[in-house]
Structure formats: structure tokens, C-alpha cells
A and B are shown apart, each in its own frame.
Chain A
Amino acid sequence: MSAEAHYTPYHPKWYRRRVSVWWWLQNRSYTTFVLRELTSVSVAFFAVLSLWQLRTLVQGPEAYAHFLARLRTPLFLVLNSMAFLFVLFHTVTWFNLAPKAIVVRLQGRRVPDWVVAGLNYLACVLLSGAVIWILRGR
């Protein structure tokens, strides 16, 4: 092969198909991927909701009660239910992909994927239990 291979991106005779803006609808994997990425919106939604809750908590009992009343309206119940489903989807996809990124080697052998994922799920359950206990009604 001669000196440097010459890449001509816009060779007049070679055909390049433009990637459609709907590329993510062409394939179930791609669509699932985009839905997974969009879970970040529900994550931001709850972060902002929590910030709002914190601010009303600091402002006083009336403001806080007002906020709680808002959470009982149909609009927020629907939004929160949808957000909850998306956040669950985030959790499941996150934990299932974690073993791909975090490779743990014990005694020269790689810890199996299900162990890494399982430990994440376990941590989630334990932490959730702790939160429920700390935020119990009293």
C-alpha cells in the first residue's frame, strides 16, 4: 500500500445515505435505548420536585401543607406515577448494565455479571428499607 491512504468522504460516485432523524424508530433496540435515555427527564423531574418540597418545608407548615395538597391533585398523581415507572426503568437498566462497566476480578477470575447486578439490587432494597424506616409516620 502506498504512503497515506486517502479517505475522500464525498467521493462523487460513492453513495452515502443520510441518517434519518427517525433513526431510533427503525429498530426495537434503538427505541428502547432512547426510552432509556429519556428516563433522565423523570430523574430531573423528581430532583426538581424534591427541591420544591425542601423549599416549602423550610418556608413553614402552611407552605408545606400547600405543597402536599398539590401532590394529591390528579395532575401530580399522574405525573408522579409516570415518573415512578420511568425511574424504575432507569434503575433496572442501570443495574443490568453496571457489570459491563465494572469488572471485578477475584483470584484471577472475573466476578459474574449477575453477582455485580445482584449486589446493586440488594443495596437498593436495603437502602429503600432504611429510607422507609426513617420516613415512617410519626
Chain B
Amino acid sequence: MARPLTPFLWVLFSAGGTIAALLFPVHLFLTGLAFPLGWLEAPSYDVLHGLVKYPVARLYLLVLISLPLFHWAHRFRYTLYDGLQLKHLTALIAVLCYGAALAGSVMAAYTLWSIH
């Protein structure tokens, strides 16, 4: 069986896509539009800081940030491959995309871990 990693990457892509499809609309709406424009009252700093201390909240945020990043990495890699026909750069693109997703995930994990 060649390319043993592809099924795993596809699963990450699917999981990330599902998370993004289910949760990003509401989060983006609140964070990007409703709260800044004052349509809805935002939770205070203390409330939010209190929420992220819970382990379940940290896990939620880790999943919310890292899986969609891997979704982007996989999808964008194929978009460059097919859309711009950059086949000769395929290894570089793969490393850059998954690398960036990994970096973001590690940073999220580290930040969540360091909350006290």
C-alpha cells in the first residue's frame, strides 16, 4: 500500500471540515460581527478567562483551532496542485501546508496548556 499517510490526512481534512462547518459560522458571526458591532453583548474578560480554565474548554478550543487548520492544509495543497498545476513543487507545498497547520496546532496547545 503506497502513500500510507494519505488516508490519515484525509480523515484530518474531513474532521476539520466538519468542525468548521458546524461551529465556525456561529463563532465567526459572534467574534467578527455581532460583538464588535454591538449587536449582541460580549462576555467580559473575566468571564472568558474563567471559561478557558476548564479542561473541557481547553480541549474544545484545541479542536476548534487545530483540526480546521489541517482541513485548510489538505484542501489548499490540492487546490494549488490542481488549480495552479504546481506539480513540480508538490513536496514543498505539502511541507509548507501541513507544517503551518502543525505549527498553529502546537502553538494553540502550548497556549492552552500554559493557562493558570
The reply to whether the CB of A103 lies closer than 8 angstroms to some CB of chain B is no
| Residue tally, chain A, CB below 8 Å to B | 52
Given contacts A21-B84, A57-B49, contact A47 B33 (CB under 8 A): no
Given contacts A127-B26, A131-B27, A137-B42, contact A50 B21 (CB under 8 A): no
Assess whether A40 is in contact with B79, with CB atoms less than 8 Å apart: yes
The reply to whether the CB of B85 lies closer than 8 angstroms to some CB of chain A is yes
Given contacts A91-B25, A134-B51, contact A50 B64 (CB under 8 A): yes
B interface: dominant SS: helix
The reply to whether the CB of A4 lies closer than 8 angstroms to some CB of chain B is no
Assess whether B28 is in contact with A84, with CB atoms less than 8 Å apart: yes
Assess whether B27 is in contact with A94, with CB atoms less than 8 Å apart: no
Given contacts A40-B76, A54-B65, contact A84 B33 (CB under 8 A): yes
The reply to whether the CB of A104 lies closer than 8 angstroms to some CB of chain B is no
Task: Please indicate the chain B residues that have their CB under 8 angstroms from the CB of A111 in the complex.
Answer: none
The reply to whether the CB of B5 lies closer than 8 angstroms to some CB of chain A is no
Within 8 A of A (CB), among B12-30: 16-18, 20-30
User: How distant is B79 from chain A, measured CB to nearest CB, in Å?
Assistant: 5
Within 8 A of A (CB), among B58-116: 61, 64-66, 68-69, 71-72, 75-76, 78-79, 83-85, 104, 107-108, 111-112, 114-115
Assess whether B52 is in contact with A84, with CB atoms less than 8 Å apart: no
The reply to whether the CB of B36 lies closer than 8 angstroms to some CB of chain A is yes
The reply to whether the CB of A108 lies closer than 8 angstroms to some CB of chain B is no
The listed residue (B21, B107, B114) touching A90 by CB distance below 8 A is B21
Task: Please indicate the chain A residues that have their CB under 8 angstroms from the CB of B27 in the complex.
Answer: 46, 50, 131
Task: Please indicate the chain B residues that have their CB under 8 angstroms from the CB of A77 in the complex.
Answer: 32-33, 36-37
Interface pairs (17), CB distance under 8 Å: A21-B84, A34-B79, A37-B78, A40-B79, A43-B71, A44-B72, A47-B69, A50-B64, A51-B104, A54-B52, A71-B36, A83-B32, A94-B17, A131-B23, A132-B26, A132-B30, A138-B47
